[in-house]
Amino acid sequence: MKLTFATRPSALARWQTQWVINTLQNIHPNLECEEKVITTQGDKILDKPLPEIGGKGLFTQELESELLNGTVHCAVHSLKDLPVENPAGLTIGCIPARAEVRDALISRDGYILATLPNGASVGTSSLRRAAQILSLRPDIKTESLRGNVDTRLRKALDGQYDAIILAGAGLTRLGLDSHVTEWLSLEVMLPAPGQGALAVQCRTEDTTTLELLSVLEDEATRKAVTAERVFLQGLGGGCAVPVAAFAEVNSQQSSIISLTGLVISEDGRKAVKVTGQGTNPIHLGNELAQKAIQQGANEILKLITAR
C-alpha cells in the first residue's frame, strides 16, 4: 500500500507532513509514503497582508484540488488554515493530538508585551492577534508580517520590528522556541480556532485511507477543535477575521467541553467574549455563536467586512 501526501513547500508544512508519515509508518511498517509539494496562493503572494488577499482557502485550495483529482491520497494542513466547510467529496480523515495552542512574542531586544516602548512596532499577519494586542496596548503600532516561520523569525532578529507574534506550535515543531521572549497566556491572547492542531484531509469515499489514518485520531482534540470551528462558522467567518476560540475537554469528565469565544474589533476597543460548557461540540459552538451575536458580534464583524 502506498499513500501520496500533498504538502506546502514551507519548512513547517514539510515537518508536519513528515511527522504524519513517520507516525503512520511506525504503526503500519509496510506502508509506503511519498510527498507531493504544492505551492498555494498564500505561498506566492507575500507582499500583501492576508486580509487583503482573502482568507478562505488561501493555503489549502490547491492541495484540495489535487485530492479531488485523485493525484494524491491525503493533504496535511494546519487546522487553523482550513476553511470550516469541506469541499464536496472531501473530509478530515484524522485530527491528531493537539500541540501548543498559545501565541508567542519574540523580540530581539528582549521586550515582553508589558515592556515594549511606547509606539513600538509589532509584526503579525493576523487581525485576531493585532486586535488583541491593541486592546491591551493601544499605543503599539501593528504592522503586516508575511512569510514562512523562519522568514518571519529572521525579520524579528534583524530588528525590522520591535517584536513579532507567531503561533507557538510552529516554533516548537521546528525547534525554534528558544527564541520566544514571552509565551502569551490565553487570558492575554486567545488563539485562532483550531490553532496547534493538524488536520489530515482525504476523499470521503476513500475507505482504505480513512482506515489507515484512524490510528492518529485524538478524540479529545477533535471535540475541542470542532466546538471552536463551529463557533467561527456560526459567525460566518473565515481565518481572516478577528475571531478567537479555545475549547478543552475536562480531563476528569471527558464528556464535558469548555469553550471560550471572542469577537474583537480591529482597533481592540470593542469585544464580545462568551464562555460555556456542553457535551456536544456542535451544539456548544452554535450556542456560543448565537450568544455572541446577541451581544453585538455581528456589528463588530460588519465593520471589518465593510472595509
Q: What is the mean pLDDT of residues 147-174?
A: 94
Residue 292 lies in a domain: yes
Q: Please tell me the total count of domains within the chain.
A: 3
Q: What is the rounded CA–CA span in Å between residue 107 and residue 87?
A: 40
Lowest mean pLDDT among 55-64, 159-168, 216-225: 55-64
Backbone angles phi, psi at 161, to 5 degrees: -135, 155
91 and 209 assigned to the same domain: yes
Asked if 64 and 132 sit in the same domain, the reply is no
pLDDT at 113: 97
| 295: CATH | 3.30.160.40
Sign of CA dihedral 109, 112, 118, 123: positive
Can you give the pLDDT at residue 102?
98
131 within 8 A of 112, measured Cβ to Cβ:
no
190 within a domain of the structure (yes/no): no
Digit-coded pLDDT (tens) for 170-188: 999 999 999 999 999 999 9
145: CATH: 3.40.190.10
pTM of the full structure: 0.91
Average pLDDT over residues 128-149: 94
Average pLDDT, the chain: 91
Do both 11 and 93 map to the same domain?
yes
Q: What is the pLDDT of residue 155?
A: 95
- The answer to whether residues 15 and 88 belong to one domain is yes
Does the pLDDT at position 40 exceed 90? no
* Residue of 81, 103, 162, 206 with catalytic role: 81
pLDDT cut 90: percent of the chain above it: 79
pLDDT at 241: 77
Measure the CA–CA gap between 40 and 6, rounded to whole angstroms: 11
Same domain, residue pair 116 and 147: yes
Is 192 within the bounds of a domain? no
pLDDT at 229: 96
User: Could you give the residue ranges of the DSSP H alpha helices within 45-176?
Assistant: 50-53, 61-69, 127-136, 149-157, 168-173
Structural domain contains residue 191: no
Please state the rounded mean pLDDT for residues 197-222. Answer: 96
pLDDT value at 43 more than 90: no
**Structure confidence at residue 54 (pLDDT):** 53
**Band of the pLDDT at 276, cuts 50, 70, 90?**
very high
**81 catalytic residue (yes or no):** yes
Containing domain of residue 282, as a range?
Answer: 225-305
Confidence of residue 254 (pLDDT cuts 50, 70, 90): confident
Establish if 55 belongs to a structural domain.
yes
Considering the domain boundaries, does residue 245 fall inside one?
yes
Look at residue 86 and tell me whether its pLDDT is greater than 90: no
Q: Quick one: pLDDT at residue 51? A: 54
Hunting for cell 501593528 — which residue is that?
A: 142
* Same domain, yes or no: 37 and 79: yes
Contact between residue 32 and residue 2 where contact means Cβ atoms under 8 Å apart: yes
pLDDT for residue 21: 97
Q: Are residues 108 and 87 in the same domain?
A: no
pLDDT digits (tens, 9 = 90+) for 107-121: 999 999 999 999 999
What 8-state DSSP symbol labels residue 113?
A: T
Mean pLDDT for 151-163 is 95
For 132-149, what is the mean pLDDT? Answer: 94
